[in-house]
Amino acid sequence: MLIKVISSIVIIISFTLIGGIHANTYSNRTKLLSQLLISLQMLETEISYSATPLPILLSNIGKKSKEDIGSIFLKASEILSKKEGYTFSYLWSMILDSEGMALDLYPEDLEIFKQLGNNLGATDINNQIKHIRLIMEELRRNHEDAIIAEKRNVKLYKQLGLLAGFAIAIVLF
Amino acid sequence: MINANNYFVNKIEASQIPIKQVEEYLCPEVRCHIKGLPTDFKGAIEEIRLRVNKPLMVYGNYSDYFVGTSGQLLKNEYNAVITNKKNIENTLNFISNYSMYAVEEELKRGYITIEGGHRIGITGRIIRDEKGIKAMKEFNGLNFRISREKKGVSAAIINYLYDLGEFQNTLIVSPPQCGKTTLLRDIIRCISNGIPQQKIKGMKVGVVDERSEIGASCQGIPQMDIGIRTDLLDSCPKAEGMLMLIRAMSPQVIATDEIGKESDSLAIEEALKAGIKLITTVHGKSIEDISSKKVIGAIVKSRIFKRIIILSNKNDVGTIEAIIDGDTMKNLLSKPLKNKVVS
């Protein structure tokens, strides 16, 4: 009897945790997207006011950004400073392919983030600003979707985990 | 630490540092061809040219060559590597350090100076507005001009420029491509550092570098050695720059390149009034040639310049034909000085 009670409790707790973890991916996405928007805003400001060269600029942004997003900028800056001869768009999509998977972003978010590399640094200031604003606009739309999805799903998956735990425990009892 | 063997190796590498610095800025496709060039040619290379859909070319040892796929020098273009628009765009990205937005001003002038003082000329489509040239887009050609600092080219003549330990106003007269800027730069370095062997003290030198050739500045910092007591205004119009230096930096000598405008002579007068010595250059072949020019002719006739150096490339680049005393108009040299310095 005691064993049954204990194992039921364990099942309930673990299912609740699984639900919680899954729910977290939704709130993580929202957080990441808003951090990304902040980083891009910094990028735009730096380019338009101080015309800092890209390798230095990316490392500055990387240091100021939150860990997950920052590490991508830092990595890009590090590879650029080595001057191995990659074009920026190639290098950027390479970094996002390897590092982006670990982030709680949707493929469509990553795709937009990747587009940033197509043009960054390759045109004059006005076009750079237009390009960054366009990317930000698209990300903002995804950010809004992410907020809606977060509101809807976080509670849902937390409760679903708990209930599934109970259901299985009852069936097994 | 340093043994003879090591020293020898370093010396070989030193002559190739300039080309190594430039290689970093080429796109990978072009870079591998240039890397394959014969070693002795790398030491003498002066230009690398990329043009859209035209063969890759290099210039050195007084002639130009096409470059083959593994870096061999070719006399005709049949097997030469063709450079395309993508190569040029990628190379420009590296030159601008992945930041085309940061080099807008340089593009307007048509060249970018990179670390080491090498200059890259750029051609493309110019976009204009009512104020003049606004930007350059759709690039079609690049010319890497590899610079080699020739320290010591003024060693043979520097003593002629001093009279009783005092520096004399100097004018360098030279046709294009005879090394006049190189000579000017080295003289500036000597004046600024002083000449300890002759017990000549260094002087404060102000340089107005309108075309960024004297200091070859990269992001405002001179890439060439122009001496320890030298202040340099980069890309500054000469007349304004000279006045700025007089007011702000209290120089003892002012150096500029290629004077000839009306406004320049006013600035020169101002400098002389303040007791500042001058050294400058002018395009020309001889005293008679420059005397016929309006502004500079008048300055020469007023005997402001006490030393006039005439350059030519009759025998070799940088031959010093004569050093003329501005007061007596006599040549101080008994015969032309061949002044090739192997760096």
Chain A residues touching B104 at Cβ < 8 A:
124-125
Distance CA B295, CA B265 (A): 7
Q: Are residues B183 and B289 in the same domain?
A: yes
Residues B88 and A155: their CA atoms lie apart, in Å, by: 55
* One domain, residues B10 and B141: yes
pLDDT number for residue B39: 87
Q: Where are the domains of chain A?
A: 2-172
For residue B112, is it within any domain? Answer: yes
Name the closest residue on chain A to residue B105, using Cα atoms: A124
Task: Provide the token pair at A102.
Answer: 């670990």
The amino acid at residue B294 is K
pLDDT tens, residue by residue, B293-323: 888 888 888 888 889 998 887 777 778 888 8
Which of A51, A87, A88 lies closest to B102 in CB terms? A51
User: In terms of domains, do B305 and B183 share one?
Assistant: yes
Instruction: Show residues of chain B in contact with A47, CB under 8 Å.
Output: 101
- pLDDT at position B175: 87
- The CA–CA distances, whole Å, from B47 to A38, A72, B62, B66, B137 equal 45, 38, 11, 12, 23
For the segment A68-81, what is each residue's pLDDT rounded down to a tens digit? 888 889 998 998 88
pLDDT band at A41 (very low <50, low <70, confident <90, very high): very high
What pLDDT score was predicted for residue B321? 85
pLDDT of res. B287: 85
B28 lies in which domain range? 4-145
Q: Is A55 on the interface with B (CB under 8 A)?
A: yes
Question: Mutate which of B90, B95, B101 to disrupt the A interface (most A C-beta within 10 Å)?
Answer: B101
Residue closest to B110 by CA, chosen among B281, B235, B207: B235
Instruction: State both tokens at A38.
Output: 């902040």
Q: How far is A54 from chain B (nearest CA, A)?
A: 6
Q: Tell me: do B132 and B164 sit in the same domain.
A: no
Best mutation target, A43, A47, A58, A87, to test chain B (most B CBs within 10 A): A87
Contacting residues of A for B101, CB less than 8 Å apart: 47, 51, 121, 123-125, 128
Residue with tokens 């919680």: A20
CB contact under 8 A, A124 and B94: no
Secondary structure (3-state) at B75: coil
**Who wins on pLDDT, A85 or B235?**
B235
pLDDT over 60 at A107, yes or no? yes
In a domain, B286, yes or no: yes
CB neighbours of residue A166 within 10 Å: 15
Q: How confident is the model at residue A125 (pLDDT cuts 50, 70, 90)?
A: confident
* Burial class of residue B220, CB neighbours in 10 A (0-12, 13-18, 19+): exposed
pLDDT of residue B11: 47
The answer to whether the Cβ–Cβ distance between A88 and B94 falls below 8 Å is no
Contacts of B194 (CB under 8 A, 6+ apart): B200, B201, B202, B203
Q: Are residues B64 and B197 in the same domain?
A: no
Interstrand relation of B253-256 and B277-283 (parallel, antiparallel or unpaired): parallel
Q: Where are the alpha helices (DSSP H) in B96-249?
A: 104-109, 180-193, 238-249
Chain position carrying tokens 């980083």: A39
- What's the pLDDT score for residue B154? 86
Of A53, A85, A87, the CB nearest to B99: A53
Taking the C-alpha atoms of residue B185 and residue B131, their distance in angstroms, rounded to an integer, is 34
pLDDT attached to residue B66: 94
Do the Cβ atoms of B93 and A122 come within 8 Å?
A: yes
CA separation for the pair B318, B111 (Å, rounded)? 25
Say what angle helices A2-50 and A107-119 make with each other, to 10 degrees: 20
Residues B164 and B313 in one domain: yes
Q: Provide the terminal-to-terminal Cα distance of chain A, rounded to the nearest Å.
A: 9
* Residues of chain B predicted below pLDDT 70: 1-16, 339-343
Task: Give per-residue pLDDT as tens, A6-35.
Answer: 988 998 899 899 988 888 888 888 888 888
Using the 8-state DSSP alphabet, how is residue A100 labeled? G
Q: Is-contact A124 B99, C-beta < 8 A?
A: no
Give the pLDDT confidence of A140-153 residue by residue, as tens digits.
999 999 899 888 88
Same domain, yes or no: B101 and B69: yes
CB interface of B with A, residues 132-191, below 8 Å: 135
Q: Is the pLDDT of residue A164 over 60?
A: yes
Residue B158: phi, psi to the nearest 5? -55, -35
List phi, psi (to 5°) of A28. -65, -40
Single-letter code of the amino acid located at B100 = M
Is some CB atom of chain A closer than 8 A to the CB atom of B94? yes
Residues of B whose CB is below 8 A from A53: 96-99, 102
What pLDDT is recorded for position B14? Answer: 56
- Segment holding B126, helix H or strand E: strand B119-129
- Give yes or no for a contact between B264 and B238, defined as CB atoms under 8 angstroms apart: yes
> How many cross-chain Cβ pairs, A to B, lie less than 8 Å apart?
48
The whole-number pLDDT of residue B54 equals 93
User: Using the 8-state DSSP alphabet, how is residue B256 labeled?
Assistant: E
Q: Say whether both B118 and B203 belong to one domain.
A: no
The reply to whether B100 and B168 lie within a common domain is no
Same domain, B140 and B167: no
Count of structural domains within chain B: 2
| Six-digit token string for A68 | 């997950």
Residues B315 and B170 occupy one common structural domain: yes
Cβ–Cβ gap B135/A122 under 8 Å: no
Q: What is the pLDDT of residues B167-178, one digit of tens each?
A: 999 999 988 878
Which residues in A lie closer than 8 A to residue B136 (C-beta atoms)?
Answer: none
Collapsing DSSP to helix, strand or coil, A145 comes out as helix
What ipTM goes with this model?
0.73
Question: And the tokens for A64?
Answer: 């100021």
pLDDT tens figures, B39-74 = 888 888 889 999 999 999 999 888 899 999 888 899
Q: Is residue B339 part of a domain?
A: no
**DSSP code per residue over A21-86:** HHHHHHHHHHHHHHHHHHHHHHHHHHHHHH---HHHHHHHHHHHS-HHHHHHHHHHHHHHHHT---
Where does B138-293 have alpha helices with state H?
A: 180-193, 238-249, 262-273, 287-291
Q: How far apart, in Å, are the Cα atoms of A82 and each of B55, B183, B219, B270?
A: 29, 36, 20, 49
Contact B99 A125 (CB under 8 A): no
> CATH code at B314?
3.40.50.300
